[in-house]
Chain A
Amino acid sequence: MTLRCLKPAALAGLALLAVGVGPMRAQDASEAIRAVGDPIGLSQPRAVTSLDIDPRGETLAASGLDGAVRLWSLATGAAGPVFPIHDGDAAAVRFTADGRRILSTGADGQVALLDVGAGTRVRTWRFPTWCLGLTVVDADTAAVGCADLKIRILNLGADRIVREIQAPGDLQYQYVISLSASPDGRLLASNNPLTLYEVETGEQRASVPSFAQRITFSPDGRSLLGGSMKAGASVVSVHPLQARARLVTDVEQQVQTPSGRQTVRQGMPIYGVAWSPDGRFFATGGLDRLVRIWRMEDGAEPVEVARLEGHESAISALAWHGDHLVSGDLGGHIRIWRLASRS
């Protein structure tokens, strides 16, 4: 594991490191982040499609292309139960608000609700097409986004679909791949194009053209973070729905030209995004196999403050809870990083 802090000023301040293990603390504007020790390495047979951490920060859940959902101890990496749920990909996994149950979606059109403690399936919803997007709205409600451009709001206490929302787009080419619910449970966001809906009514609030592989609300509900399949990531303000900042994730490449070799910058797609619990940082990961940590700046572009290296495949999923950041890749490897802030 290596970590590179990109700000020279922060590098100069290494001697003054104030390592704080535990939840991130409010610090000054030059606050950065570093990883403490080596990450815990985990693996599963096939690509990681989604990661989530239970609200108490004890258990990590991962879904994979082998159709299973796996649990691990977040603190130690000790393996927990494996739930072979889906026929085909398991596309997304989320803990319910109480942390006692897990929801998973798959390429088989199933949405499964599992009781973690009992290891049993509580409920299954079956849809006529694959569903990739999944978010937990509140204690009793979740939403799934499917290939038929429908967002289905589910009552977790019954086999009932509370509401169906038609997402905009061309059914032939577009689909709902990512969903995120605002922290207050009032808004839903779907990608491709980025669209906001009222959960209560299903009414579409706003929409802007964009294609983000993954989107997620900030903890304060004022921003959305989206990783782009083309290059980089974006921070979008929610009120009103408009681009706030674009994150450049370019890497330098040497190319041969008629006039000789040139160094060019090449944008890298971002597949995974996650906010720190306090909303002052966020992480991105993608094709360049780097976990990049960014610091939000009031009135300015986010600043990249750290890079976590070590993945050998493209990073496909991220989850952040307390001082633990978890990254998963397309090779089926997962790393649990322990972070500390410094200024």
Chain B
Amino acid sequence: MGGGLAAAARENQPRTPVRALRNGNCQTVRVCDPKKLYPARDAVREPPMETAMEDGRSLEQRLKSLERRNRLLTAGLVATAAMGLIAAASASANGDRSSQVFDKIVAREIVVVDANGRERVVIAAPLPEPRLAGALSKRGDVLSGILLFDGEGNERGGYVTGDDPSTGISLTLDEIGRMAVSLWAGERGSSGLRFGNQDGNSVDLQVNPAGTFLTLREKGQITAVLPESATPPPPAPTGTPQ
């Protein structure tokens, strides 16, 4: 059956312009009658009625053939779609880590989780509220930047800045529940480095428009200031994580 259609189609193959020119249908390609050069598509694919009848096939047979082809095409389409869905689901279930390259990602928050689903890195503007021993807490200031968390969900450091330029910018390393190290810069002319623990012991190095300072504290009390004549420098800009 299919062979008959193919044979009919071969008989009605479009002629190329070169062939047409050789047959003398026109003088040049430009002035050729397109209808003569390229028979109508219907004529190519659908043999004339007489041809089909001559081929010994009835309309009913042709209809059955078309129906069968239609069923085959439908089945193929369904199978292809199903395979695509299965592949997508499989990739999703297996945590497909195939690299995708984006020219640009625009987001308010990006969260990186570990194999156990725990949040380990958060990039956000603004940053979410912190946690103390698993419980939500208040950050107080609106900050944006990057936070790092340990496997128990404790915030262990960040690189953050506030909305107001005077807030400054800080790189912090945290103990559980409190900041231990801070490297910060203010809006203009001030920057510092601070180490401290929960007992009130701390070392402050600070540069500001008035000079340079080193301040040592033990149990919250100042034990040394350099230069010795200096008064302790002011604290870090408001909003800088302490």
Residues on A close to B: CB < 8 A?
45-49, 65, 89, 91, 107, 130, 132, 147, 172-175, 177, 213, 229-231, 267, 269, 271, 286-287, 313-314, 316, 330-331
Contact A172 B135 (CB under 8 A): no
Closest residue to A230 on the B side, CB-wise?
A: B198
For the residues of A in contact with B, the DSSP-based class is: loop
Partner of B135, one of A91, A231, A313: A91
Contact B152 A174 (CB under 8 A): no
If the complex has contacts A45-B117, A269-B177, A330-B153, are A316 and B133 also in contact, measured as CB distance less than 8 A? yes
Instruction: Choose among B117, B154, B177 the residue with the greatest number of A CB atoms under 10 Å from its CB.
Output: B177
Give chain B residues whose Cβ lies under 8 Å from the Cβ of A48. Answer: 134
Contact A107 B133 (CB under 8 A): no
Contact B117 A49 (CB under 8 A): no
Stretch among B37-45, B136-144, B224-232 lining the A interface? B136-144
- What is the distance, in angstroms, from B26's C-beta to the closest C-beta of chain A? 75
If the complex has contacts A47-B153, A314-B152, are A172 and B140 also in contact, measured as CB distance less than 8 A? yes
If the complex has contacts A267-B198, A269-B176, are A172 and B138 also in contact, measured as CB distance less than 8 A? yes
- What is the distance, in angstroms, from B235's C-beta to the closest C-beta of chain A? 16
Partner of A89, one of B118, B136, B176: B136
Contact A330 B138 (CB under 8 A): no
In Å, the complex CA distance between A172 and B198 comes to 22
Interface 0/1 of B125-155, CB less than 8 Å to A: 0000000111111101000000000011110
- What is the distance, in angstroms, from B44's C-beta to the closest C-beta of chain A? 62
Give chain A residues whose Cβ lies under 8 Å from the Cβ of B177. Answer: 229, 269
Contact A47 B152 (CB under 8 A): yes
- What is the distance, in angstroms, from B241's C-beta to the closest C-beta of chain A? 12
Contact B133 A271 (CB under 8 A): yes
Give 18 new A-B contacts, CB below 8 A, not counting A230-B198, A271-B133: A45-B117, A47-B134, A47-B153, A49-B134, A89-B135, A89-B136, A107-B136, A132-B135, A173-B138, A174-B138, A213-B133, A229-B177, A231-B198, A267-B198, A287-B133, A314-B152, A314-B176, A316-B134
Contact B133 A330 (CB under 8 A): yes
**In the complex, the 6 A-B pairs of residues with the closest C-beta atoms, listed nearest first:** A271-B133, A330-B152, A47-B134, A173-B140, A316-B134, A172-B140
Contact B135 A49 (CB under 8 A): yes
Contact A132 B136 (CB under 8 A): yes
Give chain A residues whose Cβ lies under 8 Å from the Cβ of B153. Answer: 47, 65, 330
Give chain A residues whose Cβ lies under 8 Å from the Cβ of B176. Answer: 269, 287, 314
Closest residue to A133 on the B side, CB-wise?
A: B135
Give chain A residues whose Cβ lies under 8 Å from the Cβ of B151. Answer: 331
- What is the distance, in angstroms, from B59's C-beta to the closest C-beta of chain A? 62
Instruction: Choose among A230, A313, A330 the residue with the greatest number of B CB atoms under 10 Å from its CB.
Output: A330
In Å, the complex CA distance between A91 and B129 comes to 14
Contact B152 A313 (CB under 8 A): yes
Give chain B residues whose Cβ lies under 8 Å from the Cβ of A230. Answer: 198
Give chain B residues whose Cβ lies under 8 Å from the Cβ of A130. Answer: 136
Contact B118 A46 (CB under 8 A): yes
Partner of A147, one of B117, B136, B152: B136
- What are 11 sample pairs from A and B whose C-beta atoms fall under 8 A apart? A46-B117, A47-B134, A47-B153, A65-B134, A89-B134, A177-B137, A229-B133, A229-B177, A287-B176, A313-B152, A330-B152
Closest residue to A213 on the B side, CB-wise?
A: B133
- What is the distance, in angstroms, from A100's C-beta to the closest C-beta of chain B? 27
Closest residue to B118 on the A side, CB-wise?
A: A46
Give chain A residues whose Cβ lies under 8 Å from the Cβ of B198. Answer: 230-231, 267
Closest residue to A132 on the B side, CB-wise?
A: B135
Give chain A residues whose Cβ lies under 8 Å from the Cβ of B117. Answer: 45-46
If the complex has contacts A231-B198, A269-B177, are A331 and B152 also in contact, measured as CB distance less than 8 A? yes
- What is the distance, in angstroms, from B156's C-beta to the closest C-beta of chain A? 13
If the complex has contacts A267-B198, A269-B176, A314-B133, are A175 and B138 also in contact, measured as CB distance less than 8 A? yes
Give chain B residues whose Cβ lies under 8 Å from the Cβ of A91. Answer: 135-136
In Å, the complex CA distance between A231 and B198 comes to 9
Instruction: Choose among B118, B136, B176 the residue with the greatest number of A CB atoms under 10 Å from its CB.
Output: B136
If the complex has contacts A65-B153, A269-B177, are A177 and B135 also in contact, measured as CB distance less than 8 A? yes
In Å, the complex CA distance between A316 and B152 comes to 11
In Å, the complex CA distance between A229 and B132 comes to 8
Closest residue to A272 on the B side, CB-wise?
A: B133
In Å, the complex CA distance between A132 and B199 comes to 28
Give chain A residues whose Cβ lies under 8 Å from the Cβ of B140. Answer: 172-173
In Å, the complex CA distance between A91 and B137 comes to 12
In Å, the complex CA distance between A314 and B137 comes to 17
Instruction: Choose among B133, B154, B177 the residue with the greatest number of A CB atoms under 10 Å from its CB.
Output: B133
In Å, the complex CA distance between A269 and B133 comes to 9
Give chain A residues whose Cβ lies under 8 Å from the Cβ of B132. Answer: 213, 229
- What is the distance, in angstroms, from B35's C-beta to the closest C-beta of chain A? 68
Give chain B residues whose Cβ lies under 8 Å from the Cβ of A229. Answer: 132-133, 177
In Å, the complex CA distance between A316 and B177 comes to 13
Instruction: Choose among A48, A173, A267 the residue with the greatest number of B CB atoms under 10 Å from its CB.
Output: A173
In Å, the complex CA distance between A65 and B132 comes to 12
